[in-house]
Structure 1
Amino acid sequence: MSVTVVGSINIDTVALTDKYPERGQTIFGNKIEYLPGGKGANQATAVARLGKEVNMIGAIGHDLYGDKLIESLQGSKVNTRFIKRSDSLSTGTAIITIDHTAENTMLVLKGANEDLNKSDIESAFNQIKDSEVLLVQMEVPQETVIRAMQLAKEKGMYVILDPAPAEGITIKALDYADIITPNRQETYHMLGIDVLGIDSALEAAKTFENMGVKNSIIKMGDKGSVVYQSGNWEHIPPIAVKAVDSVGAGDAFAGALACAITDGFDIVSGSHFATAVGALKVTKLGAQMGIPTIDEVEAFCSEQGLKHCNLNESTV
């Protein structure tokens, strides 16, 4: 069985610097890279590298960047059959700056991602027969995301909503989500609740429950995450690593969660696994290039003595 991802496909222009320039200031950076990215493509890559079949539904332009992105996805064994080539828009671009702490700022130009429409979704879903999980974000048009979620529910698929970025969120998507996985910024944007710790995370989870989503994973950055299931909850602690690049960590988490659910694990076990995948991702540069393989994750869990982050362990 497979995972289907509907979302963005971008080329990331990544600038590494010791510090961010102040407004109006010019400084010298250290390095620039042109890397495959986009939240949808990142998540599809994570699923594939973790050993699952995955369909990518998205849009790119008729340009060299689009060619490079297709090549990268295929290299990770992502099914690119349902990726559209836009006749009017160029491939999406993210301009990313990363400082010495591995934190990032990002400016995203949607480009061809805006050309992914409902008819593209309907055509793809008519051909996809064996997918169990749909994974969506909010970097493509809202009506496109909603249509994908509707069709997934009709097919009995489990729908994971990663409500990112905050600027693209639509509350209507909650009507079709089986689980939502917001970070602090996204939770505040949707609910007005600033998640500073477990208590405020639980407040957010209960608010989502009242809005119709019984399951949630409230991500708290260096404080870990809170997994909430119909009134029951568990705190998942963070895993300390030496951070290099935080871009794509949330996408690695989402892809790993989709893999766990496809394998029949509950969301607590899935969150332990996803936390390990996300932690390992931040140790490497590149939203997609830094995503670990399943063998790397298993080795990491073993080296760190993390008994609850390996889906092959009976202790999960």
Structure 2
Amino acid sequence: MSYHIYGIGNALVDKEFEVDDAFFADAGIEKGMMTLIEQDQLASMLDILQNRYGLKKRACGGSAANTIIGASYFGARTFYTCNVANDEAGDFYISDMKAAGVDTNMGDNRDEGVTGKCVVMVTPDAERTMNTYLGITSELHQKHIHEDALAQSEYVYIEGYLVTSDTSRAAAIQVRELARKHGVKVAMTFSDPAMVQFFKDGVSEMIGDGVDLLFCNEQEAMLYTGADSLPTAIDELKAVAQTFAVTLGSKGAVAWDGSQLHHIAPNNVKAVDSNGAGDMFAGAFLYAITHGHDFAAAGRLASLASATVVGQFGPRLDAEQHAPLKDVL
């Protein structure tokens, strides 16, 4: 087995800003959601944000990328399939991935175009709002899949955001089918309430006849199942996922291991920035279950790791912050 986790997702250079609620009212932006924007909108928005607030942080991102990097820093062997352009942002992205110990399909022969960018706006209540210009990542194709690396993995991990592009969705479905062919387990995340709300048919298409492990938050679970209570949603999810974890914000999480529901205690933290919390939860959880730990232990690590992310600025932890967290295993 060459890899513990093979991920596929959008490749976006994240630019984080600390803003106030007034900014959303001025700019007509829906708070707390991920919204797709065009390149000209991105340019004017970045101009305003840089001048009004100043850039807080830049990092290679994308939901699944954050998950894969987190798992890598914990000690998992990882591979990431994505699409970045032959531009400065693409160079930055690939070098950031390599520095985190993640192997990728991207070399020096990348296509011309514009690497995707995500503007992450964090308010004083720690809520994150994202405006995303996908750029070349919306052209993530089946040709970018590295079947040999996938076949040599324990899990594939599919990002729900891929549902928004026809080619990316097709690539995600192809990854699921190749995983089945090679006996690799399939994990997936819903990524964002908007994906379930506005692209539900596409999300169902990506799930296909079911996944081995699903990650979602409480709102996404309710939206996808149409349930009016969490216990009902949990029962409904069993029809599409053999196992799953549902994050509940400050209430912790629940994890279904196929026979038992584990209640995962929260870790109290002063929230600074919720960006990346769900991504880190999945990364820590996947690291733990691919290293011999049960769902209860995986949940403890995932809960602590995501709380630690929320307690500081940016979607990920620094490399050296990961090892001490493993004490909870």
Query: TM-score scaled to structure 2, two decimals?
Result: 0.81
Q: Which runs of 5+ in 1 are unaligned?
A: 195-199, 302-309, 312-316
Give the superposition deviation at 1:22. Answer: 4.6
1:193 is paired with a residue whose SS is coil
Match of 1:19? 21
Q: Look up the equivalent residue of 2:55 and give its one-letter code.
A: I
Q: Look up the equivalent residue of 1:107 and give its one-letter code.
A: N
Which of 161, 174, 177 is 2:211 aligned to? 177
Match of 1:77? 101
In structure 2, how many angstroms separate the alpha carbons of the residues matched to 1:63 and 1:128?
27
Q: 1:20 to 1:83 in 2, by over 3 A?
A: farther
Q: 1:30 to 1:290 in 2, by over 3 A?
A: farther
Which of 267, 288, 297 is 1:239 aligned to? 267
1:192 paired with 2:226, answer yes
More helix by share: 2
Query: TM-score scaled to structure 1, two decimals?
Result: 0.84
1:147 is paired with a residue whose SS is helix
Q: 1:267 to 1:283 in 2, by over 3 A?
A: same
Match of 1:137? 159
Instruction: Select between 285-294 and 87-96 the one with higher mean Cα deviation.
Output: 285-294
Give the superposition deviation at 1:106. Answer: 0.8
Contact 1:61–1:85 (8 Å) recurs in 2: no
Match of 2:10? 8
1:66 is paired with a residue whose SS is helix
Contact 1:59–1:85 (8 Å) recurs in 2: no
In structure 2, how many angstroms separate the alpha carbons of the residues matched to 1:49 and 1:250?
16
Q: Look up the equivalent residue of 2:280 and give its one-letter code.
A: A
1:46 paired with 2:73, answer no
In structure 1, how many angstroms separate the alpha carbons of the residues matched to 2:317 and 2:264?
26
Q: Look up the equivalent residue of 1:104 and give its one-letter code.
A: R
Contact 1:227–1:234 (8 Å) recurs in 2: yes
In structure 2, how many angstroms separate the alpha carbons of the residues matched to 1:222 and 1:108?
27
Q: How does 1:216-227 map to 2 (within 5 A)?
A: 216-227=244-255
2:292 is paired with a residue whose SS is coil
Match of 1:154? 181
Aligned residues between the structures:
293
In structure 2, how many angstroms separate the alpha carbons of the residues matched to 1:128 and 1:242?
39
| Identity rate, percent | 25
Q: 1:149 to 1:6 in 2, by over 3 A?
A: same
Match of 2:143? 119
Match of 1:202? 231
Give the superposition deviation at 1:31. Answer: 3.5
- Note the alpha carbon deviations across 1:200-233, whole angstroms, 9 max, x for none: 3221121011x33232211111111111234531
Q: What is the alpha-carbon root mean square deviation over aligned residues?
A: 2.4
Contact 1:171–1:190 (8 Å) recurs in 2: no
Q: Which runs of 5+ in 2 are unaligned?
A: 28-47, 163-167, 197-202
